[in-house]
Chains A and B, each alone.
Chain A
Amino acid sequence: MVVKEVIQLENDLYAVHWEGDDDHCFNEMLNKYTDAEWLKVYFKDNKGFIVPGPNSGKYLEDMVYDTIDGIGEMSESIDKGDLDDLDGLFIPLGGNKANYYYAAKKYKGGTHFQWIRIYAIKDDQDCYFITGYACKFSQSMQGHDDTANELKKLQIADSFIKTNKLNIP
């Protein structure tokens, strides 16, 4: 995984564009998590993680509708000014802080789309760098390939931001 470039979305908000992806990760998430066809295939492929699991009892198809509605809810709250309070939007990721130079953060979906995560690094200038997104299907991030991958991306982005001093105006 290689950082292709870092894109500025707003004053203190950035998103990583990963090598091999068509767009930066925030746009990629908006495209995939509002696409019923993509979500249907994705949840079906991950059926083993969903039933039984943290979302036990939820039908796969309901998860498609809830994800789409959840992204709609997120878009409304961002429109109402959530981006003015990035510290309120992203909470600490937890885990091993020693793995990061800066702070690893996450956005967690509301109760009816609680599997959605957006990951970010917050630097010492209070800038947020969105590194990726995932549906969290396992207790630990290492428990599923997608979230394990997001952990790696967080660490690569953390190192990239530090090395390239992206926080310096």
Chain B
Amino acid sequence: MKKDSTWKFKLARIKSSRLWAADMARIAVRILNYLEDNGRSQRWLADQLGVSPQQITKIVKGRQNLSWGKIKEIEAVIDIKLASIKDNQCSTHQSADYKSGDWANHMYGVFVYLTDEVEKVKHKEFIQKPTRQPDSYYDWDMGVGLIVKDIVGKELAQKA
């Protein structure tokens, strides 16, 4: 009788990817929804990102552990939010950079996230509320400072 052990490798792959698999599936579904809603093909996305169609296939199947930087690259192309730290839908601590110990790239990801958050605060304080007085600039600085303190503090605590 024929024997097979490929299932063991598949199970080992599934087990080792468990920490990030559901998060990447979430991102995959958001990308697929975007492509479907906008009549775009996976080939189009591959061209936009300058990657092979095979890589896109892997991403939309949720089998690619994307780095934070790559997620931001895709977001820039399709103009939708795929993941954020705040809503805990894709913790940076599950990113490939963090796990591989690539601290520099990981902190770059955190920086990109912080920039987004600062932009949000700026939008809320100065665009949605244009009548606010100049003294509120101080509050805004404080607000940004607190966000930075909170996020970096969490990162350092995790690293420790």
Report which residue of B2, B10, B24 has the largest number of chain A beta carbons within 10 angstroms of its beta carbon: B10
Within 8 A of A (CB), among B54-88: 60-63
Beta-carbon contact of B3 and A34 below 8 Å:
no
Q: Does B114 contact A (CB under 8 A)?
A: no
Q: How far is the CA of A10 from the CA of B4 in the complex (A)?
A: 8
Beta-carbon contact of A75 and B7 below 8 Å:
no
Interface size on B, residues (CB 8 A): 26
Per-residue CB proximity of A25-59 to B under 8 Å, as 1/0?
01100110011111110000000000000000000
Beta-carbon contact of B62 and A7 below 8 Å:
no
Beta-carbon contact of B14 and A7 below 8 Å:
no
Q: Does B129 contact A (CB under 8 A)?
A: no
Q: How far is the CA of A34 from the CA of B32 in the complex (A)?
A: 16
Q: Which residues of A contact B144 (CB under 8 A)?
A: none
Q: Does B15 contact A (CB under 8 A)?
A: yes
Beta-carbon contact of B11 and A34 below 8 Å:
no
Q: How far is the CA of A23 from the CA of B10 in the complex (A)?
A: 13
In the complex, which of the residues B6, B18, B28, B29 contacts A75, with contact meaning CB atoms closer than 8 Å? B18
Given A6-B1, A34-B63, A36-B60: A64 and B15 interface contact (C-beta under 8 Å): no
In the complex, what residue of chain A is closest to B10 when comparing beta carbons? A30
Which residues of A pack against B, CB within 8 Å?
5-9, 14-15, 23-24, 26-27, 30-31, 34-40, 61, 64-66, 68-69, 71-73, 75-76, 78-79, 166
